[in-house]
Amino acid sequence: MSAPLDARTGASLRDGRLRVVLCTRGGLFGALVLRELRACDRLEVCGIVRSSRLFHPSLGILRGALAYLRRSGVAYSLYLWCATTLADVLCGLSRLDAVPTQKSARGVHVHTTRDINDPKALKFLSGCAPDLLVSAFFDQRLGEAVLAVPAHGSVNVHPSLLPEFKGVDPVLQATLRGARTGVSVHYMTPTLDSGAIIAQRPIDSSGTVSIFTATARLFREGAEMLVAVIDQVARGQAGTAQGDPGTYQSWPTRADIRALHTRAGALIRLSDLKWIFDA
C-alpha cells in the first residue's frame, strides 16, 4: 500500500514533501482543511481517518443519535447533521471536494472508525507511513501508540484561542460567553488540546454570523496557518507550552442552545450554503 516503515523518511523527504494523514469527521470543515493540505506543494496526503463516532465510541448510530438528542436537543443535533452528513453530500456536488469515504481517484486510502486507537486503525496508520498526522474537526482522543506513528509528530487545528475553550464546539462556547474567537495550531499529546502551540491567530467573528459560518472560517484560516508553518514543523521546532490549564467544555446542553437563541444567535442559516458552493 505504501513504503515500508524503515524506508519512509528517505522515500517521503527526497522530494521535500511530507506524507500526511488527515483525521477528521469530514463535512464542510474537514473538506476546507483537506483542500488546503492538497494545495500545499510541501505535503502529500497519503491517508484519511474518518471518525464514525456518535457521542461515544461504545454507541452505535441510533444510540449515539439519541444521546445527542437527550443532551443537546433537536436543533443542535440537526446542526451537526448539516455540518457533517449533508455537507458531505453537497460538497460532492460542488467545486469543493468532499472528504472521501473510500479510496479516491487520487489513490488516498481511507479508514473509517469509532476508535482511532484500536488495532485496525493502528495498522492502517502504520501502513500509510506518515511523516505527519493532522487532526481537524476530529472528535477522538489520540493515545500514545497513535501519536508515536508519524515521524514528525501530530498537530491539531483547533478553533479557539488555546488554552481557553478546549474540547467540544469551542466556537459555540466562546460565543455564549462573549469571548474572542480564534484558531490555534498545536502539537498533540494524549491530554486533549493541551500540546504546545505552534501558531495562533485571533479572528473577528462579531456581528450576526452563525456558529456554522464562524467555525468554517476558523478551520479555513487554521489550515492556511498550518501550511504557512509547515517548515517549522518539519524541522521539529518546538511550540510554546500552554502555561495555563485553561477551560474545557463537553457537549453543549439544551440550556446552552436556548441561551444562544436568547442572544439572537443562530447555529446555521440557509445563507451558510455559500461556504460550499462558493468555495
* Span 173-195, pLDDT tens digits: 999 998 999 999 999 999 999 99
Please report whether residue 3 resides in a domain: no
* Residue 266 contacts residue 210 (beta carbons within 8 Å): yes
Q: What is the pLDDT of residue 11?
A: 40
Cα–Cα distance list, 166 to 96, 151, 155 (Å): 28, 26, 15
Q: Give residue for cell 474518518.
A: 50
Q: What is the total count of domains within the chain? A: 1
CATH number at residue 102: 3.40.50.170
Please report whether residue 4 resides in a domain: no
Cell representation of residue 233: 514543523
**Cα 50 to Cα 25: distance, rounded to the nearest angstrom:** 5
Cell representation of residue 105: 481517484
Please report whether residue 52 resides in a domain: yes
Look at residue 165 and tell me whether its pLDDT is greater than 80.
yes
Cell representation of residue 57: 465510541
pLDDT above 90 coverage of the chain, percent: 73
**Cα 58 to Cα 64: distance, rounded to the nearest angstrom:** 9
Residue range 104-123, pLDDT digits in tens: 767 789 999 999 999 999 99
Q: What is the pLDDT of residue 40?
A: 95
Q: What is the pLDDT of residue 56?
A: 81
Kindly report the pTM of this predicted structure: 0.91
- The gap from C-alpha 190 to its chain's centroid, in whole angstroms, comes to 16
Q: Give residue 234's domain range.
A: 18-277
Please report whether residue 11 resides in a domain: no
Q: Which residues contact 70 (CB under 8 A, 6 or more apart)?
A: none
Phi, psi of 275 (to 5 degrees): -60, -30
Look at residue 271 and tell me whether its pLDDT is greater than 70.
yes
* Residue 205 contacts residue 214 (beta carbons within 8 Å): yes
